Structure 1
Amino acid sequence: MGRAEERRARQRGGRRAAPKRSSRTAGSASAGASPGPRAAARGRGGKAGKSGIRRFFTWKTVLGSLFGFVLLGMGAFIVLYMMIGIPEGNAAAKLQSNVYKYSDGTILARTGEINRENVDLAEIPKDVRLTFVAAENKTFYKDAGVDLKGTARGLINTLSGKGAQGGSTITQQYVKNYYLNQNQTVTRKLKELVISLKLDRQKSKDYILAGYINTSYYGRGAYGIQAAAQAYYRKDAKDLTVQEGAYLAALLQAPNQYDWAIATDTGKRLAKNRWNYVLDNMVGEHWLDAGKRQGMTFPVPKTPKAAPGMEGQTGYLVDAANAALEKQLVSQGAAASLGDAEALVKQGGWTITLNIDKKKQAQLEQAVKDRLTSKLNPKKRSVDGDVQAGAASVDPKTGRVVAMYGGVDYFKHFRNNATRRDYQPASTFKPLILAAALDRGAKTQDGRAIDANTIYDGTSRRPVKGSTIPFAPPNEDEQNYGDITVQTAMNQSVNSVFAQMGVDVGMEDVLKVANSLGMDTEGLPAVPAQTLGSMGASPLEMAGVYATLDNHGKKVTPAIIKSAEHKDRTVTLPDPIGDRVITREAADTVTSVLTGVVDDGTARTSVRNNPARRGQQVAGKTGTSDSNKSAWFTGYTPSLVTSVGLFGEDAKTHAQVSLKGATGLIPGSGRINGGGYPAQIWAQYTFDAMDAVSKFDLETTQGAAVQPSSSPTTSQSPTGTPSSTPTTQPPTSAPPTSSAPPTQSQTPTQEPATTNPPTTPATTTPPPSNPLNPNSGT
C-alpha cells in the first residue's frame, strides 16, 4: 500500500484507524496467530480498561449515594424533631436519698437533702452571669442552641466506645441537667440535640442561662448559684464579685477536683488556670476591662461546712465512698467526666455498701483518741491545734478498706487526712527501695548483690557514688553508723545507706517498682533525693503499697466500696487483687527485714513489748519527714495492714508546719517521730483488732524473721551464709542488741530471731532517753 492509500485509510478510519504494523506482525496475523490479550479484552468488553467495578462506582453513583444518605438523615431528623417535644423538668424530682451501709449491712448514713434555691437572673450581677458564658460557650448569644460539630463528635465517640467529649453549648448542658440525665447513650444525645433546638426557638437566652446557672452542680452538695455562693463564699449570689463568679463558673468543669478545700496541688493549679481562662475570655469578648482584669487576684473560697448527719468520721467515709464510685462511673463509661459522675451520685437513689468493718472502725477511732487526741490541749499549747491524724486499714488478702480515720471531726476539719497526698511519707519509702533492689537483682557499685546482709557505709552525709547529681544526706541527729548491714540500716532508718542503694538500683527503676506496688510516682524526677520519701503520699496509698508486700508481691488496690446499687444503672467494681508486680521472694524478703524494725529498730519501744501483742509477728517501718512536718508508722500482720500518719497543719492558714513540741514534748528536741504516737496508735488498734496470733508465710532465707547460721562481718561481702529454713515462730521480744549503733571500729551484728519466744511478753518497756518523748528513730 502506498503512502496516499494509507492516508486515505486513516482519514476513513479517523482516530480508530489501525496503526501501521510491521511486516512481522502482519505475517503473524495472516498465519492465524491468536489475538493478544488487549485485543481479546476489546472483543469481549468494548472499551479497554473499563472493568465492571469501575463502571459501577462512577462519580455519578457516588454523589448520588451521598445525596441519598444526606436526604435520608435529614428525613430521619425531621421525624425525630416532630416526635420529640420539650418534657417537663425533672431534675429536682430525680434527687433522692443515698443510703450508705457498713460491711455488715447496718446503716452508716443517709443523705439526699436538696441544697438548692433558685434566683432570678436579674438578681445576679451582669458580669457574674457573663463569667458562665465565657467559661462554657462564648457564642451563646449568637448560636442556635447546639454545637453540631461537638454533638457529632460525641455521637461518634459514643458509638465507638471512646466515651464523651466536651463541646456542648450552655443550652445543651441545661437540657442535659434539667430535662434529661447524664447517661452517655446515642438516644440521649439525639434527644438533647432536638430539645436544645426547640428550646432555643421557644425561650429567650436569658431564660436558658438562668436555668443553667440554677440547676448546675457546683460541689459541696450545692445545686444552683445561690447555694454555691453560700457554700464557697458565705454570701448571696447577688453579692458575688466577678472574681468569685469566675471561680464558680470554673468549678462546673470539675467540682470535686477544683474545690480549693480538698484539691491537690495539681487540682489547685488547674482551678487557677480555668479561672484565668474565664477572665481572659471575658476580656477577649470585651465584657471586662483589661485594666481591671490585671488587678484581680484569685478569690480563695472559705472552709466548707459539713452537712448535717455527717459529723465524726461519717463524712470522711461517705466522701471517700463517693469519690471511689465517681471514679468507677467514669472508668466504665457511665459518665463523661468526674463532674458528670459527681452529679450522677448526688442525684441520689444509690445504696452504697462500704467495706468498713463497724467494730474495727470503732477500735481505730478509740486508738487515736487514747494515744493522741486526749493528749492535745490547744489552749495550753498552740502547736497542739496544728496536729492532724489520718489512718487507713486494709485486709491484704481481699484489698478491702476495713477502717479509716479522716480527722478529729468532719465538722471541724473538712479534709480527709487518710486520703490527702500533700505530706511526705519520709522513711516509709525505704522498703520500696529494697524491694526494687531485690526484684531487679541490683548490685552495689563494686558488684556485690544487694540483700539483707550486704554491707554499706552508714556515715552521715557520705556523698553517694555513681550519680551525676551530687547528694549527701544526713542521718537523723547526724549519727554515724560506719559499716552496717542493710538489715541494721533498715532497723535504724539510715538515710546515707538507702540513698546509695537507690543509686545502685537506678532511681528510674526504684520509681517504677514503687509505682507498680501502688504508689503514685508518675512524673516524679528520678533523683537521689527521692530516696528520703520527699514525694507526697496518703495513708491509704501507703497501706495499699505495704499490703502488696504483705500479699507476697501481688498488687493490692485498697477498695472502700463493697457494692453500689441503683435502679437505673449497674456498676461493676474492679477486683482489688491484681497480678504479681514483684517476685514473691523480693516481697517476702522485705517483710522479713521489716520485722527487725519492730523487734530491734525504731518501732521497738511502742510495738515490740506491747502486752497486747501476745507473740504476734509484726513487720513495719517508721518515717519522720524533714522539719518534722509529718510522722508515720505503716505496719502489718499477715491479716491486717495499717498506715498511720501525723501531719503538722496550721489551724488557720492550713500551711504545713512542724509537729515539734506537741503534747508537751520538749521544744527543740521534742520531735514526734514515727516510732512514737503513730506506732502507738497502730499497736493499740492492731492488737485489739486481730482475731488470733499468726505468723508470716515467707519464702526467703534473709532478714530478721530468718535465723542466720552466722552473723555477717565488715568485709566487702557477707561472710555468713543464711539458713535456708525460715523460722516457724514469731520474732523475739528480747531487748535490742545494743543501745547505740555500731561505729566504724565495731563489728555490726544482726540479732537473730529466736525460735522460742516467751509465752508472756515483757510488761515493761526500756526507759526512753527522753521520758516526755517515747520516740526512737525515724
Structure 2
Amino acid sequence: MGRAEERRARQRGGRRAAPQGSSRTAAKSAGAGKGRIRRLFTWKKILGTLFGLCLLGMGAFIVLYMMISVPKGNADAKLQSNVYEYSDGSPLARTGTRNREIVDLSEVPKGVQRTFVAAENKSFYKDSGVDFRGTARGLINTLSGKGKQGGSTITQQYVKNFYLSQDQTVTRKLKELVISLKVDRQKTKSQILAGYINTSYYGRGAYGIQAAAQAYYRVDAKDLSVRQGAYLAALLQAPNQYDWAIATDTGKKLVKDRWNYVLDNMVEEHWLDSGKREGMTFPTPKPPRAAPGMEGQTGYLVDAANAALMKQLVAQGAASDLGTAEAMVKAGGWTLTLNIDKKKQDQLEAAVKAKLTSKLNAKKRPVDGDVQAGAASVDPKTGKVLALYGGQNYVKHYLNNATRRDYQPASTFKPLIFAAALDEGASTQDGKAINANTIYDGTSRRPVLDNGDKVGFAPPNEDNRSYGKVTVQRAMNASINSVFAQMGVDVGMDDVLKVAGKLGMDTKGLEAVPAQTLGSMGASPLEMAGIYATLDNHGKKVTPAVVRSAEHKDRQVKFPDPIGDRVITREAADTVTSVLTGVVDDGTAQTSVAQAADRRGQQVAGKTGTSDSNKSAWFTGYTPNLVTSVGMFGESAKNQSQVTLKGATGLIPGSGRINGGGYPAQIWAAYTFGAMGKVTKFDLETTQGAAIEPTVTPTLTQSPSDSPSSSPTTKKPTTTPPSTSTTPASPSTSPTTKGPSNTPTGTTTTPTDGLPDDPVNPNDRNGLRNQNDPTSQ
C-alpha cells in the first residue's frame, strides 16, 4: 500500500473513530465540571466561609450586647405581700396581689441555699451565668416548635423571672442570654441566688422562699432544714405536679426521685456529709390552708396596724408625709406583729354579738340597720391594745368604729374635768378646793357663773331632772350636767382642755368653751381607752399601741414605749378612779356592771355617756389590769349620716333611748369579766371617793338653789341594788334635800347621760317594759 493509500485509510479510520473521540471529549468536559465544583468548594473556602459566619455572628452578638442593657426589674417580680400576726405569732392576715415576702440570703441557711444550686445548676459558682449549649438547644427547640426545654442556669432563670417575661420566643431567649452575661458581671453570685429563690414560683400561690416555707412547712425561711429545702428546690421543676397534697402517685414518685437527686448532688459537691445524707427521710409537707381574708374583724385590725406603721414612718423621718408612708406600706414586704391577744379578741367579738348584734333585725326594725358598735381594750401597764372591735364585718362596713373620731364621747368626758380640777388645784367660785366631797348645785338648766357673771350656758340634765345640792361623787354617779358645766368654768376651760390633752385626747382646734363639758367634741373608743388607761396607770401616760413590731428587709422601724412620763399627779388620777367606782356601784352602770353575775367581787371604775339626740352611747371602764371603751353609734345605712339610736333592738320608739349604762355597759361586763383572769383591787393613793371610806363631813362650797336639810352622811356607798321604782334611790354619799323635786320640771332638747328611771332596765328611761326588749329579761 502506497503512502497515499495509507493516508486515506487513516483518514477513513479517523472518521470511523469519530464517535469514540466524542466520548473522550464529553468525559473531559465532565471532569472539567467536577473540577470547577471542587475548585469552588475547597476546604479552604469552606473554612473561610465558616470563619466569616462566625465573625458575622460575633459581630451581631457584639451589636446585641451593646444595644441590650439590663432593664429595671419588672413590677410584677417586685410585688410583695404584707404579713400580719397576732401577738403569739399566729397568722392574722396576708395582703397584696402576690404572696411574696422577700428575704435576704443571710436569712436562709447555707445548706438550704445549696439545695437550689444542686437542683438547678451545679456549676453556678464557677460559670459565667450562661449555658451556651443549653441556650442553643432552647433556641433550636423553639424554632422547631418543640416547646420549652431545660438547660438554663440559675442566672438565666433569675433574669427571666426578674427582668423579662415567661414568653418562649427567640427574641426573649437572645435577650436572656445577653442580660445574663451582664448580670453575672454586675452582681455577685449571692445576689443572683437571692433573686432567684425570691422570685421563683413554688405553687400554692407562693412566690419566693419565705412564702413557700410558710405554705408547705409553716415555718420561716430561716428555720428550714436541708431536707425541707431540698423539697422546695425540687418543686421548682413542676410546682403543681410535685405538690404533695395534690400530686398523683406518679407525681409523688417523681418529686421523691428529684429530692434524692438534689441531696445526692450535694454529697457529690461535698456540701453534705454522706452519713447525714443516709439518715435523711422525706419531709412530708403540711396540707395547704387558706390565707386569712379581710372579712370580719381582720380588715379593721389590718387597717389599724397600717395606720400605726404609717404614723411611725413619718415620725422617724423615713417618710415625709402620710401619703408617702402609705405608698411604702402598700409596696409590701412588711411583717407586722400586733399586740392583739387572739383569745381576748375572740372574747370581745363574742360579747358584742351576744349582747347586741344578735338582737338587731334591720328587716323588722329599720333603725336596727343604723346601729354600729366599736370597742378597744388596752393593758394599762404596758399600753398594748389587746382587742379591737371595728364593726360587724369589714367587707360590709369598712370604716373602723374603734378608731373613728366623729361621734361625741358625751359624759365619758366628765372624769377629765374632775381630773383637771384635782391636778390644777382648782377651787369653786367661793374659793373652796374641789374634791370628791365638794357640794355643787345640781339644778337642771342652772346658769353657769364665772365670778358671779352668767356665761350664757345653762345645760339641762338628762330628762331635765334637778338634784339640788349634791357632792361631786353623787354628781359623777348620776352624771349631772349642770355640776360639771360649772366645774369646768371653775377650773378654767383652757386648763380642762390642757389636762385632757395630756391624758391623751386630741384637743387640737377645740374651743375652750363651757359647752365642751358635755363631751361635745369627737373621740374614738381607742382614744378614750387610752385616756382612762392613763388614769388607771396612776397618771403615767398610756398611748395605746396596736403594733408590737414591724420588720422589713430594707428598713428598721422602732416603735416608742407606749408608757410615758407622769402627766398628772398620782393622787389626782387615783382620786378620779376612786370616784368612778361609785358610778359602777351606785350610779348609771350599776345594773349592767355592778350586778353582773360573773363579776365575782371585781373592783371596777367607769363612766357612762349618752350624746345629744342619742346619736351615741358609751361605757368606758377599767379594772387594775384591763381598760375597755365601748361605743354605740347611730349611722344611717343609706348615707352614713349620724342618726338617733332610739328604738333600736325593739325599745319603745320615742322613749326607748339607748344609754351608756345599757348595751355598751353590758358588752363591757360580758367581755371584761370573762377576760380579766383573777379578781383584783385598785392600789389607790387617795383619801377621797367611793372606793375610800370618807373621814370628814363635806362642807358647803357653793350657794345652791336650795339649802340642804342635813349634812351628807359619811357612810361608804352601798352596793345594794336600788329599788325598781321610777325614782332612783340616792346613794348614801348624797345629801338629802328639801329643794327641787326629783321629778322632771320640763322637757329637754339635749338629752345627755344621767341615772336611769328604771334601774332594772337602763335602756328604758320611763320604766316602761317592752316584751321584745332583751334587756328587760
* 2:364 aligned to which of 380, 386, 390: 380
Matched, 1:440 2:432: no
2:679 matched residue in structure 1: 693
Encode CA deviations 1:303-338: one digit per residue, 9 max, x unaligned.
Answer: xxxx98100000000010001001101111111221
Encode CA deviations 1:527-585: one digit per residue, 9 max, x unaligned.
Answer: 00000000000000000000000000000000000111111110000000000000000
Matched, 1:426 2:413: no
Matched, 1:629 2:615: yes
CA distance in 1, matches of 2:311, 2:480: 39
Matched, 1:513 2:511: no
* 2:602 aligned to which of 583, 607, 616: 616
Structure 1 segments of 4+ aligned residues over 6 angstroms from their partners: 717-723, 773-776
Encode CA deviations 1:612-636: one digit per residue, 9 max, x unaligned.
Answer: 0000000000000000000000000
1:438 partner letter: L
1:52 matched residue in structure 2: none
| Partners of 1:94 and 1:348 within 8 A in 2 | no
Matched, 1:706 2:671: no
1:362 matched residue in structure 2: 346
Matched, 1:770 2:768: yes
Encode CA deviations 1:445-497: one digit per residue, 9 max, x unaligned.
Answer: 01111000000000000000006741000000000000000000000000000
1:505 partner letter: V
CA distance in 2, matches of 1:677, 1:371: 7
| Partners of 2:441 and 2:702 within 8 A in 1 | no
How much does 1:90 deviate? 4.5
Encode CA deviations 1:394-427: one digit per residue, 9 max, x unaligned.
Answer: 0000000000000010011010000000000000
Encode CA deviations 1:628-647: one digit per residue, 9 max, x unaligned.
Answer: 00000000000000000000
Matched, 1:396 2:380: yes
Encode CA deviations 1:191-225: one digit per residue, 9 max, x unaligned.
Answer: xxxxxxxxxxxxxxxxxxxxxxxxxxxxxxxxxxx
CA distance in 2, matches of 1:424, 1:521: 13
Structure 2: which 5+ residue stretches go unaligned?
1-68, 100-161, 164-290, 704-709, 742-758
How much does 1:349 deviate? 1.2
Q: Secondary structure of the residue that 1:312 maps to in structure 2? A: coil
CA distance in 2, matches of 1:530, 1:550: 23
Matched, 1:554 2:540: yes
Superposition pairs for residues 74-223 of structure 1, below 5 Å? 87-113=71-97
CA distance in 2, matches of 1:510, 1:722: 29
CA distance in 1, matches of 2:70, 2:411: 61
2:448 matched residue in structure 1: 464
Q: How many residues align?
A: 483
1:108 partner letter: L
| Partners of 2:380 and 2:536 within 8 A in 1 | yes
1:546 partner letter: Y
User: In the superposition, relative to structure 1, how do residues 767 and 661 fare at CA in structure 2: closer, same or farther (>3 Å)?
Assistant: closer
CA distance in 2, matches of 1:716, 1:670: 36
Matched, 1:527 2:525: no
How much does 1:611 deviate? 1.1
CA distance in 1, matches of 2:696, 2:457: 34
TM-score (ref. length: structure 1): 0.59
Encode CA deviations 1:237-275: one digit per residue, 9 max, x unaligned.
Answer: xxxxxxxxxxxxxxxxxxxxxxxxxxxxxxxxxxxxxxx
Q: Secondary structure of the residue that 2:460 maps to in structure 1? A: coil
| Partners of 1:601 and 1:736 within 8 A in 2 | no
Encode CA deviations 1:327-358: one digit per residue, 9 max, x unaligned.
Answer: 10111111122111111111111111000000
2:738 matched residue in structure 1: 745
CA distance in 2, matches of 1:497, 1:480: 11
Matched, 1:482 2:459: no
CA distance in 1, matches of 2:459, 2:630: 25
CA distance in 2, matches of 1:767, 1:331: 47
2:152 matched residue in structure 1: none
CA distance in 1, matches of 2:511, 2:308: 28
How much does 1:98 deviate? 1.1
Q: Secondary structure of the residue that 2:555 maps to in structure 1? A: coil
Matched, 1:659 2:645: yes
1:670 matched residue in structure 2: 656
Structure 1: which 5+ residue stretches go unaligned?
1-84, 116-177, 180-306, 749-764
1:412 matched residue in structure 2: 396
Q: Secondary structure of the residue that 1:393 maps to in structure 2? A: strand
Q: Secondary structure of the residue that 2:301 maps to in structure 1? A: helix
Encode CA deviations 1:570-617: one digit per residue, 9 max, x unaligned.
Answer: 000000000000000000000000000000000001001111000000
| Partners of 2:372 and 2:634 within 8 A in 1 | yes
User: In the superposition, relative to structure 1, how do residues 642 and 767 fare at CA in structure 2: closer, same or farther (>3 Å)?
Assistant: closer
1:205 matched residue in structure 2: none
Q: Secondary structure of the residue that 1:612 maps to in structure 2? A: coil
| Partners of 1:389 and 1:407 within 8 A in 2 | yes
2:524 matched residue in structure 1: 538
2:490 partner letter: D
CA distance in 2, matches of 1:563, 1:421: 25
Matched, 1:600 2:589: no
User: In the superposition, relative to structure 1, how do residues 615 and 746 fare at CA in structure 2: closer, same or farther (>3 Å)?
Assistant: farther
CA distance in 2, matches of 1:611, 1:720: 31
Encode CA deviations 1:650-697: one digit per residue, 9 max, x unaligned.
Answer: 001000000000000001110000000000000000000011000000
User: In the superposition, relative to structure 1, how do residues 715 and 318 fare at CA in structure 2: closer, same or farther (>3 Å)?
Assistant: closer
CA distance in 1, matches of 2:624, 2:511: 34
How much does 1:709 deviate? 3.4
Matched, 1:568 2:554: yes
CA distance in 1, matches of 2:389, 2:701: 47
CA distance in 1, matches of 2:474, 2:611: 20
| Partners of 1:423 and 1:630 within 8 A in 2 | yes
CA distance in 2, matches of 1:551, 1:409: 33
| Partners of 2:93 and 2:294 within 8 A in 1 | yes
User: In the superposition, relative to structure 1, how do residues 532 and 556 fare at CA in structure 2: closer, same or farther (>3 Å)?
Assistant: same
1:739 partner letter: P
Q: Secondary structure of the residue that 1:613 maps to in structure 2? A: coil
CA distance in 1, matches of 2:672, 2:713: 34
